[in-house]
């Protein structure tokens, strides 16, 4: 009985350390994604949105949001983690500021729809596809709204310039996420349930 009483606090501490480590790992991966970007105007094609999406899918809504938030905090503090290898709070006022805020929504929405991974629970492919689609689309809401109100462009022009060109790349990222996430979710669940 005494051994059980001592083991429970140790398990809680261990679980907390594992969650913190996984969250920090995903935040670091999102930061590293800055080095893979295709500049096509004021809003580049980036790998970071795939990594934010995976953080929500693999860690769930709370830890996924935390990983995305840590990434944004690193950038706000001046670390060169935003697209193009830049940082600073001024980037939030730039053309990509709305998309950066949208990363928080992406992590939460994809995590809520897919749910927190559990050991022995098989992920529904349809649920995963819906989580990926919703996660990829929700980032555009603040991104496009911010670009519209920051420019003199019409809604149609904003849509044509800053949504349509990104769809093929997001389709590929979405397919990658649907293929990768279930395996990572299983690994994450196994680690977290120990």
- pLDDT band, very low/low/confident/very high, at 5 (cuts 50, 70, 90): low
**Domain of 43, in residue numbers:** 2-192
In tens, the pLDDT along 72-126 reads: 999 999 999 998 889 999 999 998 899 999 999 999 999 999 998 887 788 889 9
Residues of the chain above pLDDT 90, percent: 69
Burial (Cβ within 10 Å: 0-12, 13-18, ≥19) of residue 125: exposed
In tens, the pLDDT along 133-166 reads: 999 999 999 999 999 999 889 999 999 999 999 9
pLDDT at 135 (0 to 100): 97
CA distance 123 to 55: 16
The CATH number of whichever domain residue 18 belongs to comes to 1.10.1760.20
Q: Tokens for 120?
A: 């022995």
How many CB atoms are located within 10 Å of the residue 117 CB? 24
Number of domains making up the chain: 1
State the pTM of this model.
0.89
């Amino acid at each position: 009985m005494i051994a059980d009483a001592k083991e429970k606090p140790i398990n809680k501490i261990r679980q907390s350390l594992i969650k913190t480590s996984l969250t920090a790992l995903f935040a670091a991966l999102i930061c590293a994604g800055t080095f893979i970007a295709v500049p096509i105007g004021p809003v580049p094609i980036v790998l970071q949105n795939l990594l934010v999406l995976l953080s929500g899918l693999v860690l769930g809504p709370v830890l996924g949001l935390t990983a995305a938030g840590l990434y944004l905090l690193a950038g706000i503090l001046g670390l060169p983690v935003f697209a193009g290898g830049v940082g600073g709070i001024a980037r939030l006022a730039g053309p990509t500021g709305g998309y950066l805020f949208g990363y928080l929504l992406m992590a939460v929405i994809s995590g809520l729809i897919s749910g927190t991974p559990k050991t022995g629970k098989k992920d529904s492919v349809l649920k995963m596809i819906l989580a990926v689609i919703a996660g990829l689309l929700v980032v555009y809401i603040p991104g496009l709204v911010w670009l519209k109100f920051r420019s003199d462009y019409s809604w149609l022009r904003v849509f044509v310039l800053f949504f349509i060109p990104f769809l093929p790349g997001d389709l590929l990222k979405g397919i990658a996420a649907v293929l990768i996430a279930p395996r990572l979710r299983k690994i994450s669940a196994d680690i977290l349930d120990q």
